[in-house]
Every structure is written in C-alpha cells, then in structure tokens.
Amino acid sequence: MRHKDNHHDILNFILDLDNLIQVKNLASYKAKRVDGSLLRPRKKFELLENEGLIRKVPNLGEAHLTAEQLKKKPLDVNNRWWQVTRLGAREIGRESDYKRVREVKSVRDKEHESQIRDVCVAFKRLYPDYKFEFDLNAEIDGVKPDIAIKISNGIDTHHFVVEVERKDWGVRTYRETVLKYEKAKLKAKVLIVYSDRDFDQGHPRPQCYSDFIVAQRKEMLMRQFQCLLKASKDLPGYRYLFLPYPDYHRLNERVWYLPNGHQINLIS
C-alpha cells in the first residue's frame, strides 16, 4: 500500500504542475554528489514508465514519435520532460485533469519551466506540514504570475504569487516585472525569484555550487541580484520578497530578502 501511495503522490504532484516535470526537479538536496541526488527519482520514473503511468514528452521535432519509440530513444533521462499518461490520471481518479503535452518547444522555455518546478518542489518538500495548491495558469487582476500558491496548515493560510526571472540585468527585472505588480492590486505577497542565463547553463543542482565555474556564475548572479534590490529599495516589505534562485533548495530558511536588503524567513 505504501508503494502505491507513493506512486499516487508523484502522479498527483505532476498533474498539479501542469503535467510536466523533469527527474532533476526531484533531485535530493542532501546527497553529496549529483549522481546520487538523482538516483531515487530516476528509478521511480523508470518504474512508473514501465507501468504505463507516465511517458516521456517529445522534444522539438519529436512530436511524430510514438510513446514506444520515445521509450527506446537513448536520451538523458534526467533532462527529459515527463508527463502523466491518461492511464496514470485514471489511476488516481483525475482523468478530467489530464492533458497531453505534444512537445516541449524551445530550450529557453524548458529552462524557465524547469526552474518554476524547482521552486514548487522546494515548497512542498521543505514545508511538509502544509498543504499546497499550485496554479501555473493563474491570471489575477490582469497579471499572469509563473505560480500562484495557496499554502495552509489548518490554522494559517498564506497566498503567494511567484515570478521566476531569468534576466541578465537585475534592473530589467525591476522595470519589466516588479513594476507590473505595482500597478496591480493583489492581496497575495509577491515573491521574486531571480536568476540569469549564465547561471542557468546546464541547470546546476546544489551539489555543483562549489565547482569553480558555477561559483563564478553564482557570484555574477548575486551582483545583479543586489542591483535588483537597490532598484526595489522603496517598495513595501509586507508585499514583496526576493530570493536568489541558487537558494531555492532552502527557501524555508532565512534566505528571503526584503526590499531594504534585510533577510527574513518566508513563514515565521
């Protein structure tokens, strides 16, 4: 029963995330090496695939391939996108929520979508006593955030909207994203998770952060993050919080920045 329940948890979570996920989104934060961090989720996905409950999503130019052809295709399992099959959705009583993703179209979209799911996984994993509702297609007061989140522990309920930014300049994020929210009248707290395209190369897992090249890229990212904070310094702290993307795997800690640069916990 526990084995089956674990399968159901994964299938439900994938459907909650618009029926798209990568193995690396579920990598362990505690493993010492990248290979070790991916071992368990990779085995789970292979098992679910063999049972017909999930399938690989075609990359650009592969939409004509059948599920069986994709299954045999020798591609990197960790970087491949996966979706729940109709059978998998039926298995958990959510066939009405099933939608088939025909193909993942662009590299740029893939990196952004993967980071969105990194953040969702981190919330669910790091706040185990809370129940979550994720909406990756929300539109609130004319604004379409990357993620709308409702989080509750039965006593307290929090609403967040999250923007995962991949811009080379922190000031550009302020002008194009933060100011957009200033014009909207949202009741939810706005969380800005900032990254850039240099750091995103290879989509490094936390185990890689001490590597020389990744550490250099992280340092450059943090310089632009400080530029974003400087541009945002007059914004109200009760409404905005900022997070450097490399800290997504510990977002339950004191790693969130107020506009004035002070760091706090997201949930006290």
Q: Which CATH number is 21's domain given?
A: 1.10.10
Residue whose structure tokens are 């993620």: 147
Do 31 and 68 lie in one domain? The reply is yes
Do 115 and 242 lie in one domain? The reply is yes
Do 122 and 232 lie in one domain? The reply is yes
d(Cα 152, Cα 267) in Å, to the nearest integer? 11
pLDDT of the residue at 53: 96
pLDDT of the residue at 64: 64
pLDDT of the residue at 2: 41
Per-residue pLDDT of the chain (268 residues; tens, 9 = 90+): 344 557 899 999 999 999 999 999 999 999 999 889 999 999 999 999 999 999 988 775 565 666 666 665 555 666 788 999 999 999 999 999 998 887 776 655 788 899 999 999 999 999 999 999 999 999 988 899 999 999 999 999 999 999 999 888 999 999 999 999 988 878 899 999 999 888 877 778 999 888 998 999 999 999 999 999 999 999 999 999 999 999 999 999 999 999 999 999 999 8
Report CA-CA distances (Å) from 133 to 33, 50, 212. Answer: 31, 29, 38
Do 127 and 93 lie in one domain? The reply is no
d(Cα 70, Cα 83) in Å, to the nearest integer? 13
The answer to whether the beta carbons of residues 19 and 30 sit under 8 Å apart is no
Do 59 and 125 lie in one domain? The reply is no
Where a domain ends, among 104, 123, 142?
104
pLDDT of the residue at 147: 97
pLDDT of the residue at 1: 38
Where a domain ends, among 104, 139, 168?
104
Residues of the domain holding 27: 2-104
Do 115 and 246 lie in one domain? The reply is yes
Do 149 and 257 lie in one domain? The reply is yes
Do 148 and 98 lie in one domain? The reply is no
Do 26 and 69 lie in one domain? The reply is yes
Report CA-CA distances (Å) from 61 to 17, 76, 81, 161. Answer: 24, 16, 14, 33
Q: How many domains does the chain have?
A: 2
Answer yes or no: pTM beyond 0.75.
yes
Where a domain ends, among 49, 81, 104?
104
